[in-house]
Structure formats: C-alpha cells, structure tokens
Structure 1
C-alpha cells in the first residue's frame, strides 16, 4: 500500500482539499479514504488503473461525511494564492475572475460540482470521471454541459 500512497497521495490530498475546503476536514477525509482503501484492497482489480478506484473511494467517503454532518459542503480549491497560481497557472490580474468562478462553482448542485472538480481541477478525462462516479459516460457529458451553461449564466449575471 505504501507505493500507492507515494504515487497517488499528493493528488488524493489535493482532491480532499478541493472537496472539504479546510485542512482539518481534508486531513480526516484523506485518512478515511486510505483506511477504506486498505480495508477493501482485496476488491481492487490490479488490471485496472488505481487512481479512479481510490478517487471513487474518496468521493464516497466525502458523501458519507456530508450525510453524517448534515450540512452542505463548500468548494475552495486552495489555502493560498501560491497554490492557486501553481496549479491553475493563473496570470497576474486574473485572480478576480478566478474568485468569481470559484464562487459560481460553489453554487452548483452537488452532483455538478463534484463532476466539475474531478474533470477540470483533478484532471480526470470524461471516461475516468464516469468510472469514478460510477455513472454512464453520457451522464458526465451532460453534467459538464449543464455546469458550463450554469456557470456561464452566473458569470454573466455578475
């Protein structure tokens, strides 16, 4: 399991931060994800990519935590502007647009928001996103299209 943590730990923690917004929640989700992965490692088909499998576990653990807390989660990509710049390769002067976009993503329906995070911010392709969410490819395409339309409308309204 150590090799998987070494290879996928950083990206997984980034996903946890994207989903939870704050470090304490991300730490809890990260630990919960690896614990569940360890408990169910015998169910992992080693002929398939590991990243969609661990990402699906993370998303499901996140949903479980949200149900337990009975609260609506919020989206915040990173704790510092340096992290934002490094990942998003954001040009100077574009931070205002980025913050507006982040706020708009916050307002998306949870299914759309998670799909956007996986596809645009976690770098999964549409097929991997579908596998991770355990939904048909067409559903991912539809969610992304709907999210883009809603985001465009929100951004124009502001």
Structure 2
C-alpha cells in the first residue's frame, strides 16, 4: 500500500500522510465492510481515494516544493548503478504522465493488480482502465524507448538507432544520397 501511495503522490511525506489518513478511514469504516471483495482490495481502494483527495487538494492550492537533496531511493548492496539509474528514469517518466493515466499503470503494471481490481479501486469502468493504460504505455514507450535501444535519443520514438540511420545513409553509393531506396 505504501508503494501505491508513493507512486501516486510522488512525495514520501504526502504518501505517508495519505496512508495514515487511509488507515484511519479504514478503521472507522471497518464495521461497514461488506466482504464483497477482498480486504486488501478494499484497503487499496481507500488508499487510492486518500491519495486522489490529496492530489485534488494540491491542484486547488498549488505550492512550490522545496528542492530535495536526493531523489534516489536507498540502494541495496546488490543493486548496480545502472539498475538504480534505470529505476530513476522510469520513475521520472511515470511522473510525467497525467494522474488519470499514472494511477492505472502503477496499479496494473507495477503493483500487478488485474484490470477488474484496478477498475474497482479507482471507481472507473474496466474499459477506461484499459484505455488509460494503453495511452500511458504509449507515452512511456516514447519517453523510455532509449532504454530498449541505447543508441536512440531519449524521448524520440524509433525502431532504428542513430547509428543505423547514419550507417544506411553512408553506405549508399555516391550520387544516390537524395534518391529513394529501391530505384
């Protein structure tokens, strides 16, 4: 639940506050639990609601955050530097997504919830979860394409690296640089 709150709010202090609010709400509403779903699904829904409430409040009263000294998560000894860098790049890419796309992607792709569970937690239709995930994944693919292809420029969607394009251009016979291939 902490991971959902942290990934939704992107601020450890806000996430901790939202999680505390969620647990207080869950404690107060425990007698109303109808067992129509699993307790964890019910709790996650409360956490998501608490996070979304905080996002709405933040949008109503925008603030300028203080600069942080470090954006890195604590590393374990077995983590390599490139794994930490990759996690940071992915986190930053998720942060660029609109909230309505980030929440379903975090729940489905990161936390491993089903589309049905995610729809229930967010209070939206399953088709909406699927479309928001698809739109968010498309944006992430553009931003993170360079992770799959190290020669690609970050943020530029391509199936071909800069090296491949240059090599193809250079390998053409002289005098055919401006002509289409196949002529």
Q: In the aligned structure 2, how far is the partner of 1:105 from the partner of 1:22?
A: 13
Which consecutive residues of structure 1, in runs of 5 or more, have no partner in the other structure?
1-11
Matched, 1:15 2:4: yes
Residues 14 and 97 (structure 1), Cα distance of their counterparts in 2 relative to 1, 3 Å cut: closer
Instruction: Summarize deviations over 1:10-62 as a string: whole Å, max 9, x none.
Output: xx223222233343222211110011112222332124211221111111111
| Contact 2:8–2:102 (Cα < 8 Å) also in 1 | no
In 1: Cα distance, 2:110 partner to 2:29 partner: 27
Matched, 1:42 2:42: no
1:81 paired residue among 72, 75, 82: 75
TM-score relative to the length of structure 1: 0.74
Higher RCO (CA < 8 A, seq sep 6+): 1
Select the structure of larger CA radius of gyration. 2
Residue 24 (structure 1) aligns with: 13
- Secondary structure of the residue that 1:56 maps to in structure 2? helix
Q: Distance in 2 between matches of 1:104 and 1:18?
A: 12
**Contact 2:9-2:55 within 8 A present in 1 as well:** no
| Matched residue, 1:104 | 93
TM-score normalised by L of structure 2:
0.65
Equivalent-residue separation in structure 2 for 1:138 and 1:27 (angstroms): 31
Higher helix share: 1
Alignment partner of 1:93: what SS? helix
- How far 1:104 sits from its partner (Å)? 1.3
Task: Give the alignment's Cα RMSD to 1 decimal.
Answer: 2.6
Task: Report the Cα distance in structure 1 between the residues aligned to 2:44 and 2:128, rounded to whole angstroms.
Answer: 18
Task: Name the count of aligned residue pairs.
Answer: 138
Partner of 2:55: 66
